[in-house]
């Protein structure tokens, strides 16, 4: 039984992984008309492409794919491959000159995990898009999570492997999925408060230079009809779920980024219920990334 993001109608996920270089990328594809989307960015170190388009006041409401990638800022080039994949299939925002695919992307810093010169590029983004399917999402050290690390506040030598996780929750006929790439400076705890990844010794922390080397990337998947402003509100609410299972979270050296994507193929529903389900799905996805 599929208990991951791709259980939702219209969602497909594909990975490209370099197990030697310890990096990779992950693509989320949806219906041809795209996802209604918004996003929330916390912390001073987010790395992203076209994130500004997702602000509620901006004109573009739908995106045609979402890319999560390793390689730090270098890895953003993988989005070009996803754009090419979609263009070849006639998918994109209609303009007089043809359809233009809208593909936001977000990165993690994984250059310390393996080969710092191993970075996802356009051909790897294309490959991940080509592999996208509605099958259960492979988890762990795959795709954008291949080089993720957890608990770096005592240095990389004492950190633990991070990874990619996905979860699905349901209540009253409403389903919410989440996919998380977990690369925070803090430790990951399970929902019972037990350390699952990282040294679990933050009381021993002494200031070191970790600027720009940590982040958690989250995609929240919905099926319900909602506005772009409501999607942004849910993205903000999802950020709170990080603090439930990542400690410390939203630090000065993290760039936590949450994207909300909805196919809008089902009727609108209660926003309070949605908020609760979003936070539960995100927390589970983070824990499953390091299980």
Q: Which domains does the chain have, with CATH numbers?
A: 5-289 (3.60.70.12)
Per-residue model confidence (pLDDT) at position 109: 95
Name the H helices within 2-146: 78-88, 122-130
Per-residue model confidence (pLDDT) at position 207: 83
Which tens digits make up the pLDDT trace of 262-284?
A: 999 999 999 999 999 999 999 99
Per-residue model confidence (pLDDT) at position 136: 98
pLDDT at 43 over 80: no
Q: How far is CA 233 from CA 37, 43, 54, 55, 178, in A?
A: 11, 17, 12, 11, 16
If you average pLDDT over every residue of the chain, what do you get? Answer: 96
- What mean pLDDT comes out for the span 89-111? 96
**Contact predicate 139/289, CB 8 Å:** yes
Element (H, E) at 109: none
Dihedral Cα 110, 289, 13, 74, nearest 10 deg: -10
Q: Which residues contact 231 (CB under 8 A, 6 or more apart)?
A: 36, 37, 38, 56, 222, 260, 262
pLDDT at 228 over 90: yes
Look-up: residue for tokens 């609760």? 276
Q: pLDDT-derived band of residue 44, with 50, 70 and 90 as boundaries?
A: confident
Q: Which of 183, 187, 244 is nearest to 218 (CA)?
A: 183
d(CA 108, CA 87): 26
Q: How far is CA 216 from CA 107, 145, 155, 179, in A?
A: 9, 10, 18, 11
Q: Which of 79, 182, 200, 104 is nearest to 139 (CA)?
A: 182
Q: pLDDT-derived band of residue 209, with 50, 70 and 90 as boundaries?
A: confident
Residue 271 in tokens: 């926003």
Q: Is the peptide bond before 248 cis (omega within 30 degrees of 0)?
A: yes
Q: What percent of the chain has pLDDT over 90?
A: 93
pLDDT at 212 over 80: no
Residue 90 in tokens: 């006639």
Lowest mean pLDDT, pick from 19-23, 44-48, 179-183: 44-48
Residue 183 in tokens: 């690369």
Q: How far is CA 264 from CA 72, 222, 268, in A?
A: 32, 7, 8
Which tens digits make up the pLDDT trace of 238-262?
A: 999 999 999 999 999 999 999 999 9
Going by DSSP bridges, is the β-strand pair 105-107/65-69 parallel, antiparallel, or unpaired? Answer: parallel
- What mean pLDDT comes out for the span 182-189? 97
Q: Which of 113, 164, 203, 168 is nearest to 195 (CA)?
A: 203
Q: pLDDT-derived band of residue 151, with 50, 70 and 90 as boundaries?
A: very high
Q: How far is CA 27 from CA 102, 153, 209, 243, in A?
A: 13, 29, 31, 25
Per-residue model confidence (pLDDT) at position 206: 86
d(CA 19, CA 36): 33
* Angle at alpha carbon of residue 246, lines to 30 and 53, rounded to 5°: 35
């Amino acid at each position: 039984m599929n208990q991951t993001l791709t259980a939702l109608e219209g969602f497909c996920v594909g990975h490209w992984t370099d197990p030697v270089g310890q990096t990779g990328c992950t693509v989320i594809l949806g219906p041809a008309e795209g996802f209604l989307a918004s996003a929330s960015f916390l912390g001073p170190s987010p790395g992203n492409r076209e994130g500004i388009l997702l602000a509620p006041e901006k004109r573009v409401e739908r995106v045609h794919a979402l890319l999560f990638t390793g390689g730090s800022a270098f890895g953003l080039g993988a989005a070009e491959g996803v754009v090419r994949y979609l263009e070849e299939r006639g998918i994109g925002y209609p303009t007089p000159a043809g359809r233009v695919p809208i593909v936001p992307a977000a990165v993690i810093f994984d250059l310390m995990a393996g080969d710092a010169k191993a970075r996802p590029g356009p051909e790897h983004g294309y490959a991940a898009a080509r592999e996208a399917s509605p099958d259960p999402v492979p988890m762990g050290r795959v795709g954008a999570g291949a080089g993720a690390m957890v608990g770096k506040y005592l240095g990389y030598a004492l950190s633990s492997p991070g990874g990619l996780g996905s979860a699905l929750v349901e209540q009253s006929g409403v389903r919410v999925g989440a996919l998380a790439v977990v690369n925070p400076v803090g430790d990951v705890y399970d929902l019972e408060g037990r350390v699952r990844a990282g040294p679990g010794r933050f009381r021993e922390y002494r200031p070191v230079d970790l600027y720009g080397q940590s982040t958690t990337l989250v995609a929240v998947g919905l099926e319900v009809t909602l506005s772009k402003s409501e999607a942004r509100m849910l993205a903000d609410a999802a950020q709170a779920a990080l603090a439930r299972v990542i400690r410390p979270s939203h630090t000065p050296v993290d760039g936590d980024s949450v994207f909300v994507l909805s196919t809008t193929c089902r009727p609108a529903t209660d926003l309070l219920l949605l908020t609760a389900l979003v936070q539960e799905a995100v927390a589970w996805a983070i824990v499953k990334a390091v299980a």
